[in-house]
Amino acid sequence: MQDAKYETRPQPILRPVRGSLTDYLIIPREGIKENFEHDRVDCSYLDNKHFSDGTPKVFGVHTNMDFSGMLGWPFFFDLSFIDVHVAKFSDPEDVLTVLRSLSFELIFGGSTRFTVFSGSDMRPYFHLDLEINGEQEKEPTHERFKKAREYFHNMLKEYADRGGFWQWFRMDIRSSDKKPRRIESVEAFRLSVKQAPLDKPLSGEVHLKTLLTGVHYKNL
């Protein structure tokens, strides 16, 4: 009989699925309130149940995280981009004001800073994601092109309707050789968001959906 300490267990077979880890921030008219030891700080991914003011989050609307501050499942996540979607605003000028006043810190463990950047470092982009449940490769090419044309037609119409204002912003956080940062399943992480004081109140709340975008490695 084989000694238990030399016993090998079958390892799960993982498959890559492109997608995002999502969370949600609400910037009040007066800006982020002073908290976290009197700094104007809020966090994404730290709590998957509640906003910083205690208001409940709705799973599937405000977040897709099953656990607070860690993956839990899937086993790994290769992170390439931090995206911000402006989900709600009253005036485009409010969004520009908010982005100029924000700084982001991706933190692992207790206090290890992986990357720090300002909102003004982020660039607008045309967001395109035609993947459906990880099955994009099984769809005929002509169907994907058809969907792409329809998608861009709708997005450009929305862009024109909003007076040339685009709602998606992206920060590339890959290494210089374009390698992603791997997040392990039990590794704690959060996106800390700091805000400088605003010169005047915003026209209304600005809602920001944050997305850590990359590749999941899920069990078959």
User: 10-14, 44-48, 83-87, 170-174: which has the minimum mean pLDDT?
Assistant: 10-14
Highest mean pLDDT among 1-5, 41-45, 166-170, 216-220: 41-45
Q: Give the pLDDT confidence score for residue 139 in this predicted structure.
A: 56
Quote the CA–CA distance of 23 and 47 in Å, as a whole number. Answer: 9
Is-contact 33 197, C-beta < 8 A? no
Structure tokens at 5: 């300490």
- For 117-136, b/e burial (b = at least 16 CB within 10 A) is bebeebeeeebeeeeeeeee
Instruction: Label residue 13 by pLDDT band (50, 70, 90).
Output: low
- The CATH number for 13-124+166-219, chosen from 3.30.70, 3.30.420, 2.40.50, 2.60.120, is 2.60.120
Residue 144 confidence (pLDDT) above 70:
no
Average pLDDT over the chain, rounded to an integer: 82
Q: What is the mean pLDDT of residues 54-62?
A: 93
Q: Between 124 and 86, name the one with better pLDDT.
A: 86
> Residue 158: how many CB atoms within 10 A of its CB?
12
Instruction: Label residue 190 by pLDDT band (50, 70, 90).
Output: very high
Expressed in angstroms, the distance from the first to the final Cα of the chain is: 31
Q: Give the pLDDT confidence score for residue 33 in this predicted structure.
A: 83
Fill in the amino acid letter for 54.
Answer: G
Structure tokens at 194: 């700091």
Instruction: Label residue 135 by pLDDT band (50, 70, 90).
Output: very low
Residue 4 confidence (pLDDT) above 60:
no
Residue 95 confidence (pLDDT) above 80:
yes
Q: Which residue has the tokens 């208001």?
A: 55
- State the span(s) of the chain assigned CATH 2.60.120: 13-124+166-219
Q: What is the mean pLDDT of residues 78-93?
A: 91
User: 4-18, 34-48, 159-173, 184-198: which has the minimum mean pLDDT?
Assistant: 4-18
Residue 166 confidence (pLDDT) above 60:
yes
Instruction: Label residue 130 by pLDDT band (50, 70, 90).
Output: very low
